[in-house]
Amino acid sequence: MNIDDLQWQSAHLGGVLPRLVDEILARGGLETLVEAAREREDWFCAVGAVRGLCAEGEFERAWSVVEPFAASGWQPAVRTGADVLVRCNRVEQALELARPGGRRQESGEAWRDYAEALVRAGRADEAIEVLSPYLRERRVLRGLVEMTEGQGCDERVLEVLDPLAEEFRRDSTQRGDLDLWAVLPAQARVLERSGRVDEAIRLLGADVAARRYGPENTVEFYVELLARHGRVEDLRDLATGSRQYAAASPYVKALENLGRAGEAEAYLRDCMASEHPGWSESILMDLLIRQGRFDDAIKAVEHTFDKDYDGNLLQTAIILLAEQGRHDKAIEITEGRSPEYLADNEAYWLRSNRWWLMGEAGRAREAIAQVEALPADEVDDRELTIASLLAQDGRVEEAIALLRPLPGKRAATDLAELLISQDRLTEAVAVIPDVAAQRKEREREREMAASESKGGWGGDPCSAPDTAPLE
């Protein structure tokens, strides 16, 4: 098993996409995934097969699927393998697999996975001791809090968190690799779940007031904590004060949950009248759509639709309307745009969204006619677009025939999705290029991008900058 291939799959969503794996599993294609994991060494198929086998209680078969991956030493596979072994009641073997060889220089991630196996084996106190040296790593800290929930060891967790929290509070200007700030919401979360809600609110409230937080805003955790426990007045103080941006959405939802949606709407309209446009309109649109007031929602935000700033809510409105089945209304707002906005956005994204919406609204043939009326070089992914519309029109076999000869992973993925919809599961996996082929395709794309970039430099090729895209 090639670790480099496994890492590439994970980083680039290579092989069979996770969403396709989920669809195959949902349609009863467990054996298809087992076969793909074995024959193609496809990691995502292996994960899906393990999930399906464990759901059916076939833990030993699940181990046979993941064992070759885990034997490579690749950490995600080790993690999955250890979990399966615990389910097989082969606890000592699970711990042996997950243990990072006794080398303390191993990454905190590896020790986190070992600690998870210890917790699964009923040895939570030992897991806490294992992780204690690595708690300055944010992912390890988060892992400790998550894996110990419900294990009856909250006081012990707090014993190791409290000194770190106090250290950060003494010098909250710390930055860098340690990410020590993450201990503040971690401490509050453990206090909350152990029943010490008032203490959690008091400590974190003081941290917010003193601006003791890091790059992931502790304010957001604090306002969500207040919302979970119905502290509406405290939320209102924040939402109408200096923490308005972070507190507005939790405050609105708290009011809505209390049956005070009118009060929430009034608050947001006041924000719109007094603050910079964008964020308050978005929250108001969400609120009104949740209430089924679609026309009011669009009216509240339509003044942003032709603007070229970050607060433009046209695409958000399209998605929300589509989720509610209001495809005709979504089409309508794509068509009523200013000439200036259309000049910059029509070919870029707007018309492709309109065609998709037309397909959902039962107007696929009209959309296809629009695509075919345009010059071929003016429509990106022309055949893929037409194939998608054919499928929306119920002409799945025509769509399959159009996609089958097309090169590239995207066309293969679209084809596989249509085959899955027809329960042709093994065929669906077969049409997706394997990892080696996908890596070659990606490398060709990199070479072409580099070549085009150098060709467009306009100066001495030897002096052109390194423009190879980052992965």
Percent of the chain with pLDDT over 90: 77
pLDDT mean over 17-29 = 98
- Asked if residue 5 is part of any domain, the answer here is no
For the stretch 358-413, pLDDT in tens is 999 999 999 999 999 999 889 989 999 999 999 999 999 999 999 999 999 999 99
- Asked if residue 184 is part of any domain, the answer here is yes
Confidence of residue 463 (pLDDT cuts 50, 70, 90): very low
Tokens of 221: 């955790």
Q: Residue 187's domain spans which residues?
A: 132-229
- Asked if residue 235 is part of any domain, the answer here is no
- Cα 267 from Cα 235, distance rounded (Å): 12
- Asked if residue 242 is part of any domain, the answer here is no
Confidence of residue 180 (pLDDT cuts 50, 70, 90): confident
Tokens of 35: 């076969």
- Cα 375 from Cα 368, distance rounded (Å): 13
466 has a pLDDT exceeding 50: no
- Asked if residue 179 is part of any domain, the answer here is yes
Quote the pLDDT of residue 259.
Answer: 93
- Cα 22 from Cα 338, distance rounded (Å): 41
Residues recorded for the chain: 471
Confidence of residue 469 (pLDDT cuts 50, 70, 90): very low
- Asked if residue 71 is part of any domain, the answer here is no
CATH of residue 146: 1.25.40
- Per the structure, the count of domains in the chain is 1
- Cα 315 from Cα 6, distance rounded (Å): 35
467 has a pLDDT exceeding 50: no
Q: Which of 110-124, 397-411, 446-460 has the lowest mean pLDDT?
A: 446-460
SS3 per-residue string spanning 232-245: HHHHHHHHCCCCHH
- Asked if residue 219 is part of any domain, the answer here is yes
**Torsion angle of alpha carbons 91, 96, 100, 104, nearest 10°?**
90
Quote the pLDDT of residue 275.
Answer: 63
Percent of the chain with pLDDT over 70: 92
- Asked if residue 214 is part of any domain, the answer here is yes
Please, what is the average pLDDT of the chain?
90
